[in-house]
Structure 1
Amino acid sequence: MHPQVKTVASLSLLYAFRMLGLFMVLPVLMLYGERYSGATPFLLGLALGVYGLTQAVFQIPLGMLSDIFGRKPIILIGLLIFATGSLIAGLSESIEGLILGRALQGSGAIASAIMAMVADLTTEENRTKAMAAIGASIGLSFSIAMILGPAMASFGGLQGVFLFSASLAIIGAFILILIVPTPHRVGNSHRDSGAIPSLILQTIRNAQLLRLNVGIFSLHFILMSVFVVVPPQLETHLGIAREHHWWVYLGLLGGAFVIMLPFMLVAERKRVVKQVFLGAIFCLSVSLAVLAEFELAVLVWLLVLLVFFSAFNLLEASLPSLVSKLSPAGAKGTAMGLYSTSQFLGAFGGGTCGGWLLQNYTYKQVFALAAAVAITWLVVAISMRAPKYLTSLCVAVSGNFSATMEVLQVEGVEEALLVPEDGLLYLKVDSRGLDQQALAHLIGKDV
């Protein structure tokens, strides 16, 4: 196996293990959390989403600390914090212990450090593929977690789920120590994979990226609020025993993937990303409004959930691609860092608000809030500029490279940013119209 392939595979596994541990709780916490003393719907909702708050707080700072102290030590500390949180949540008897454990799980926020380590250990030519592999591991871990969580909880309860999460983190630590190589040099500014402090305010003010941050906040607010009410409703309203819920999620997520895939392919190939994106938000809004307003038969309820998960999967896959397309050259890492922070804050808000509504009203009000958030997002997204279909490139250049203006004249090159101290040239290009021969001539290598 090629060393870079082995490295990316092991880091993808680390990322997936952690996300699996976080996601497995979603379909089971509101069902099995009642065993904790002092549990209420609000506090269980807080426990469901509090990891998002701590992850939002720590993920960018831990990425920056990894620039100073090295990637491996920070990632190892993050994994051990995650394992500690899992153990506390699994062994606690009180709701306060559960909330503390979930908060600690989120505090082990190693995403930025892992992305930076991928950049350290891969060449510029392979970096985009490596990042795509990490992204695929996240999506796969979510789907597996939705099935594995209910199946494991039916045997070991929440305690079993959390102890399994802790074991995954420990296995991940051994993979990090024994398999993942130590970077010879820690890069100070992998601008396409990590946040750059000097670019944060500028990126926050970017109106197009702000719309996407609102979008991912809304999407994960909705997801968490839905998981406050869907698992109990599957059991009480639909009469599906909790030990069989994994069959439901298997069918829903499998069907959603089949439905979503053609829309994704058409959106990219026909260059109608905005239209498909807005259509998915509309379907998300309608499905939530139907669940909030109508009493539905079991089959219809499941079909509406299928529409919801299809729209969710399409949006979850489309948003990072839009961030990549719309972020300026050399600012993708910062844009993705702020995007992830918005995502985690949305998860915190959705779990907390959903739990409060369920405690004081009914499940229908939770769906109504989620529908209102989706409709608001649709209004914000309508004014989004249709994205140019650009690809980010990062090319190593010599220290005396001075042809940035000439590069900008090459057909298909839209943006160029030279970072002399790193010897890197960041480009935004239209791959269909790029004059690769002219660009290669200017930079002295193929791209």
Structure 2
Amino acid sequence: MSDEQGFSVREKQAALTLASIFGIRMLGLFMIMPVFALYGTDLIGFSPLWVGICIGAYGLTQSLLQIPAGWLSDRIGRKPVIYGGLLLFALGSAVAALSDSVYGVAVGRALQGSGAIAAAILALAADVTREEHRTKAMAIIGVCIGISFAVAMVAGPLVASATGLSGVFWATAVLAVLAMLLVYFGLPKVSVRGQIRDVTAAPELFGRLLRDRQLLRLDFGILLLHMTLTAVFVAFPLSLLDAGLAAGHHWWLYLPTLLLSFVLIIPFLILGARRNMNKLLFQGSILVMMTALVLMAVGQGQLWLLALAMLLYFTAFNFMEASLPAFLSMLAPAGAKGTAMGIYSTSQFLGAFLGGICGGVLYQKLGGAGVFLLVAMTMAGWFWLAAGMANVSQVRSHILPISGNIEDRVVTEQLLQRLMALPGVQEALVIPEEKAAYLKVDANLFELDQARRLVNL
């Protein structure tokens, strides 16, 4: 059963299953962040530097393999890549769980990251949903990632206090097996549509997008955002311990601050979309994050101040985590969103790796306060860079399947001209091989039904 306004049952099942698979995997990656500095002290070679390396190691392999794994899924199918990635994730979890040194844990974390399945999952979501519902499917996946981060901040300390560090890694291995069962039992059988430029990367577009200053600002922004995240969690758990909060009780702080932060960002997300204030609120979030980091530095030994700092940090982080992909979707050229997202995701995971390294080095040399203050300085640079961002809030992307023969160049050119003449269309791209038209439009002026009639040749 389905209707014109909503998901079919098949689309709902696929979207929820894919979101669960993505969320389970990210839960496994995040669970180690709030606990490794506390429970890894018995490992051979333990040091603040290796804390950072072990936390961020997944980001290096993830950044290197993210785009190639997406291309591979175009050729051999989505499910084989997802199965392979989850198997690597489970293997990496087992390697880390069995290791008695930080070096083995780092290898295990790198193996976890090598199971880079994000692009394949997003491409499969595009394969199994109609274009008019694809944004909803992607939103469900995005929400599930946010939930997985919140759950990890609570589950990590709980599992570690009960079973130790190895228990956290065994739990992530079990999660990987659970995700594989979801792939087998929960996903419908589908044929790969090949490259869908809204979700998969096109090599020929890399040069163009890497020269786009607006997109580069977003790529650099997500790199800095996740660099700060991993750097903060090299030092923050130790700050809580010094302030008198026992390791097994850290979730007492993380749970309420995360839940409250999710509530706090809702009005700002609505305000940004309705009042065209996205850029202003985005820059304000950078300032809030700077303030939170300074409070972390000056609040050493004061639990209430650390709690306030983490609330501000999570609020700003969650707002920016939601806003950056939305900005990217609005600014990416027609037919290039998948490539732009591939570069963006690579930057995100590279930031996680660099943050681990920088956080470890800084903590070793300057202590926790030094980590927080120097990371705050990078936020100041980001604020200056964000001043040049375009403030777009009503730009949307659409993919329209084309019926009829468009192999003739003249027919293709005529269709392109008609699409560009429609009210609200800013960019249009017709790909004969895909029998699809990619549009970038002003949502206030564009009429989707009019464009659909036009592509029914």
Q: Give me the TM-score of the superposition, normalised by structure 1.
A: 0.96
Unpaired runs of 5+ residues, structure 2, are 1-7, 407-411
Code of the residue aligned with 2:294 in structure 1: it is A
**Residue 53 (structure 1) aligned to one of 56, 60, 83:** 60
Alpha-carbon distance between aligned partners in 1 of 2:339 and 2:138, rounded to the nearest angstrom? 15
Q: Distance in 1 between matches of 2:348 and 2:86?
A: 21
Q: Name the CA distance, whole Å, in 2 between partners of 1:244 and 1:255.
A: 18
- Counterparts of residues 296-315 of structure 1 (less than 5 Å): 297-315=302-320
Q: Counterpart amino acid of 1:318?
A: S
Which residue pairs with 2:262 in the alignment? 257
* Distance (whole Å) between structure 2 residues aligned to residue 306 and residue 73 of structure 1: 40
In 1, distance between residues paired with 2:10 and 2:390?
41
- Which structure 2 residues correspond to residues 1-400 of structure 1 after superposition, within 5 A? 2-184=9-191, 186-236=192-242, 238-293=243-298, 297-398=302-403, 399-400=405-406
Task: Determine the C-alpha separation between the residues in 2 that align with 1:388 and 1:381.
Answer: 16
Q: Which moved more, 1:172-181 or 1:279-288?
A: 172-181
Matching residue's letter, 2:336: A
Distance (Å, rounded) in 1 between the aligned partners of 2:393 and 2:101: 51
Determine the structure 2 residue equivalent to 1:410.
422
- The farther-off stretch of 160-169 and 360-369 is 360-369
Give the partner amino acid of 1:350.
G
One-letter amino acid of the counterpart of residue 220, structure 2: V
| Residue aligned with 1:84, SS | helix
| C-alpha spacing 1:327/1:350, structure 2 compared with 1 (3 Å) | same
Aligned to 1:434: 446
1:296 positional shift: 6.8
Task: Tell me the residue number matched to 2:4.
Answer: none
Q: Structure 1's 271 and 333: CA in aligned 2 closer, same or farther, altered over 3 A?
A: same
Which residue matches 2:435?
423
- Displacement, 1:33? 1.0
SS at match of 2:389: coil
CA offset at residue 107 of structure 1?
Answer: 0.4
Bigger mean CA deviation after superposition, 175-184 or 404-413: 175-184
Paired AA for residue 216 in structure 1: I
Letter in 2 for 1:328: P
Structure 1 segments (4+ residues) deviating >3 Å: 293-297, 435-438
% identity of equivalent residues: 44
Unaligned runs of 5+ in 1: none
Letter aligned with residue 236 of structure 2: V
CA contact (8 A) 1:326 1:388 kept: no
Q: Give distance in 2, aligned partners of 1:38 and 1:388.
A: 49
Q: SS in structure 2 opposite 1:35?
A: coil
Q: Secondary structure at the match of 1:403?
A: helix
Once the two structures are TM-superposed, the CA of residue 22 in structure 1 deviates from its matched residue by 0.2
Distance 1:345 1:437 in 2: 41
Taking the aligned partners of 1:329 and 1:244, their CA distance within structure 2 comes to 49
- SS at 1:55 equivalent: helix
Stretch moving more, 211-220 or 299-308: 299-308
- Aligned-partner SS, 1:187: coil
Contact kept? 2:61, 2:110, Cα under 8 Å: yes
- What secondary structure sits across from 2:40 in the alignment? helix
Separation in structure 1 between the aligned mates of residue 366 and residue 453 of structure 2, nearest angstrom: 66
User: What's the C-alpha RMSD, in Å, of the aligned pairs?
Assistant: 1.5
Shift of 1:160: 1.1
CA offset digits 1:327-348 (Å, max 9, x no partner): 0111111111110100001100
Where 1:417 maps in the other structure, the secondary structure is strand
Query: 1:300: how far off?
Result: 2.3
Question: Contact 2:239–2:301 at 8 Å: present in 1 too?
Answer: no
Pair 1:438–1:231, CA change in 2 (3 A): same
Q: How many residues align?
A: 443
Q: Which moved more, 1:78-87 or 1:59-68?
A: 59-68
Question: Matches of 2:441 and 2:149 in 1, distance apart?
Answer: 32
TM-score relative to the length of structure 2: 0.94
Once residues 384 and 317 of structure 2 are traced to their aligned partners in structure 1, the CA distance between those partners, rounded to angstroms, is 17
Q: CA deviation at 1:388?
A: 4.9
Contact 2:271–2:277 (Cα < 8 Å) also in 1: yes
**Could you report, residue by residue, the CA deviation over 1:41-81 in whole angstroms, capped at 9, with x for unpaired residues?**
10111000010001000111011111111111111111000
Contact 2:227 2:356 in 1 (8 A): yes
